[in-house]
Amino acid sequence: MKLTIITPDKLVYEGTVTAVTVPGSAGSFQILKNHAAIVSTLEDGKVIIKVSNNEEILNIKGGVVEVKDNVITVLAEGIIEE
């Protein structure tokens, strides 16, 4: 699957992933290969990006996610730096 995470300032992440967990407004959910097409609003929280056995976590400040044909696009309002 191809994942792109964009904020109004910059491209934050672009790459091929095996799974992504996003903080949906109704609760976190995971996106795996061949996920049904969906558009969902996102709350502030963690985006967990899995590539094989590696895991990367980004803290986002709200936004929207779109999934279609194994392409995931996250439009985040911002990234919360720790």
The pLDDT assigned to 81 comes to 82
Quickly name the fold that domain 2-76 has: ATP Synthase; domain 1 (2.60.15)
Q: Please check whether residue 56 is in contact with residue 14, taking contact to mean a CB–CB distance below 8 angstroms.
A: no
Domain ranges of the chain: 2-76
Q: Which residues contact 56 (CB under 8 A, 6 or more apart)?
A: 13, 48, 49
Rounded Cα–Cα distance for residues 15 and 62 (Å) = 21
User: Which residues in the chain land under pLDDT 70?
Assistant: none
Rounded Cα–Cα distance for residues 5 and 74 (Å) = 5
